[in-house]
């Protein structure tokens, strides 16, 4: 159990709670955005699909370096290809995009609120990860300088 906490298990638990909050927010319909026209809902669906495809692309690019924990494994390699050429933490950005899309698709403000909270959460988690990655990979600082955006291009 000690290893769980050393690898950043608290971040993993918090992230699972964020996904549970998002799911609950989808199931709870506050009706705040129920007047979104079909075109808007199609944009929401497109964002969900974009987020899912982007997540899959990033997972494939990570390969054996993928771990649910924010602390990298000792066998971790620095991935700088695929979506990692654009942002340093593309999985997080794609999750936020999908969350926003789901809120628009379902015409509900609650998931959009959770998406904003999720963005703040992954900003903190990615900072934790970056400290660990910098300690493991001597080239990480150069990668950070080359890839300006951490989570979403032009935003964070």
The domain limits of the chain are: 2-146
Q: What is the CATH number of domain 2-146?
A: 1.20.120.1630
Residue 52: how many other CB atoms lie within 10 Å: 15
Average pLDDT, the chain: 92
Whole-model pTM: value is 0.92
Angle at 40 between CA 111 and CA 104, to 5 degrees: 5
For residue 28, name the pLDDT band (cuts at 50, 70, 90): confident
Structure tokens that stand for 145 in this block: 């300088």
Q: What is the pLDDT of residue 73?
A: 85
* pLDDT of 55 above 80: yes
pLDDT (average), residues 45-71:
96
For residue 71, name the pLDDT band (cuts at 50, 70, 90): very high
* pLDDT of 1 above 80: no
For residue 37, name the pLDDT band (cuts at 50, 70, 90): confident
């Amino acid at each position: 159990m000690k290893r769980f906490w050393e690898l950043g298990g608290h971040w993993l638990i918090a992230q699972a709670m964020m996904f549970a909050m998002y799911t609950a927010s989808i199931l709870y319909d506050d009706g705040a955005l129920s007047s979104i026209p079909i075109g808007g809902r199609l944009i929401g669906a497109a964002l969900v699909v974009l987020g899912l495809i982007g997540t899959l692309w990033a997972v494939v690019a990570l390969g054996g370096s993928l771990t649910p924990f924010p602390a990298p494994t000792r066998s971790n390699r620095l991935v700088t290809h695929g979506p990692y050429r654009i942002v340093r933490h593309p999985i997080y950005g794609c999750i936020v995009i999908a969350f926003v899309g789901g809120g628009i698709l379902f015409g509900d403000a609650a998931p959009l609120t959770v998406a904003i909270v999720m963005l703040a959460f992954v900003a903190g988690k990615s900072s934790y990860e970056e400290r660990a990655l910098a300690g493991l990979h001597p080239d990480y600082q150069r990668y950070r300088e080359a890839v300006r955006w951490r989570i979403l291009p032009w935003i964070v």
